[in-house]
Structure 1
Amino acid sequence: MKVVVVGDIVVAPSLLEEAAKELATDEKLDIVSIEWETKDRLDFRSKAQNLELNGPEAEKAPEQLYKEIVDADILMVHFCPVSKELISKATKLQLIATCRGGLEHVDVSAATEKNIPVMHVIRNAEATSDFAIGLMFAETRNIARAHAAMKQGIWLKDYVNAGYTTNMRSMTVGIIGVGHIGRLVAEKAIGLGMKVIGYDPYVTQEQIDDKGINMQMKTKEEVFQEADIVSLHLRVTPETENSIDAKYLSMMKKTAYLINTSRAKVLVKDDLIYALENKEIGGAALDVYWDEPLDPDDSILKLDNITLTPHNAGSVVDALPKSPWLLVKTVNKYWEDKKSDMVVNKVEYPW
């Protein structure tokens, strides 16, 4: 079995190669290791952002990969672009696996056309779900605003949400996108004693009940209408891009909050700013943005009812180095069960 691994300056090829050796197969493994080169971490971040904004055609994969992919059985990458052109050269490929959650660097549609499963892993799921809960506290209880005022010598006691500040147990959390991270947020909110409702077109009430999560699945409209805090946990797809717009924001209570730790492009920026400026919703907390880093003149910085953090939700020390082994563990489980929640496209099991 030929396995091609492509690392980079952040997740080294050697880590992916070592992890690949633990693939549970009786076949002899032929592992080819390649690096998607960048000049430094700043260059990597620039190229990664280009991929996140513009898709897998925006950057070029290593030339060696175009040769090795021809007879590869498995492709394992971190952030290396996997474009339609690259996929078209594969004659035996049975799996594309990436050791990150976002899939902007992979042409999933092109893989689906060739019945190639695309697998990802949520390497920082615990960290991101922790952070989402933290943003709920920070925004609803004005923690960040109080801190900023204290640093300026201001003893601030009056806030924009002073008329409806309450405790967390009195609020209902609405989860939009009940995947791995969404479920973790639900579990943690339930642990705080909060009522949790959710919406996901691909998740049924029966599936949630089977996982033992005390969450009631509702329509998208019902979640926006009923929740005191709406937390977004969506991948960017043609269906989800700009899917949270004025229509849904206008359904929210005037005292409700919007939290986004997923992807900025699922949310219409101008509609959010309008809702916050006109106090149509209580507030918002964001960790992701339409352009990163945020422009110092961005109008979102002028709002008094928003908490902002610089894409920190998944930043924990152990997520990246462990991600290749998490990916291999997920592949092995897929082989064992012949199905996986981490396969994002609808294809037939190829083995």
Structure 2
Amino acid sequence: MEAKIVLSKPLAFEGQSDSDANDEGANILQRILSLFKNIRQESDLSCFKLPPAFNMPKSQLQCYAESVYCTTSNLLSRINSGKTALDRFISVVAWSISTVRPLRFGVAPYNPTLGETHHVSKGNLNVLLEQISHHPPVSALHATDDKENIEMTWCQFPVSKFYGTSIETKVHGKRQLKLHNHGETYEMNSPNLVIKILPVPGTDWAGNVSIKCLETGLLAELSYISQSFFGFRAGQRLVKGKIFDSLSMKTLYKIEGHWDSTVTVKNTTSTETRVIYDAKQVTFGLQIPIVKNPEGVWPTETALVWGELSQAIMSKDWEKAREAKKIVEERQRVLQRERESKGENWIPKHFIVSSGKEGWDCSPIQKLVPNAPIITL
């Protein structure tokens, strides 16, 4: 039987009202509580296997990649065209906020298999991800735009813990964006994903994000503020912060807004306020990626590895979904036993990887990411 290449709809904001999310959450709350009833509080969930009914039809690799290539505005080009270092830095802050996407309550992406890849092109931007470790689950990303002379690398891994009434996923690792035309490198981290089970089910992003330009000394500190315990709307999806010069410690701009609507910056000198990010404008009308060249798709492509399972989930054929997931997991166990019997260590194909006390680090082997057989408009 020919393997299926299945890509699902990108995560976006349209059609996801808070009332709908709460109704949906109420419908599956009991199933989630029963799923976690035997798990101790503050337990690490990195090895916990979800039944297919709790999976969205995509891998975590695709979720990471979508936050980079699924935009209807060319934010990277806007960054590159900034006339001053400060203009470019403000655009980098807006781009960083754009990588935060909503997740539906009650479903989670697949934990990628070792060596799984995702390779997609959007215009001149070519994006490649590889799962460089399975336990712990570590993902590496490399993206290049040869026209804009822009490059980004991510190396990060999520650690999820259950706290009785909520699950928090801390996304460890570093994200780096390089503007080669300007000789500027920006480093940043990710906020944490919070899944609240009680009293009001829902998902949110929370925690502190630091964005810094190594060459100019500009620094932004953002706080993603989770909604209140009882889920009052006024406290949902807030982001606040400031941009300042790390050398003089002078605050240049204040940042405030909601990452699912608009975010503004206010000049501390002139009090001028302007919108730097509009979520609806950036993510409205996103299209599912297209397989332009099926013969060029690698066997490790996430859309192929999980194709049967994703198709079954979208069709709500849960018996077929359970069987498809079992096949993928058993294939991985067989490959692991074969490596162990030969005394072989798995080596990533697209990244040079190291790990130590300061975490994981990965460097892309190729200078430029090649054009992909999967494209998005």
Give the TM-score taking structure 2 as reference length.
Answer: 0.34
Which structure has more helix as a fraction of its residues? 1
User: Which structure would you say has the larger RCO, counting Cα contacts within 8 Å and 6 or more residues apart?
Assistant: 2
Q: From the two aligned structures, give the one with the greater strand fraction.
A: 2
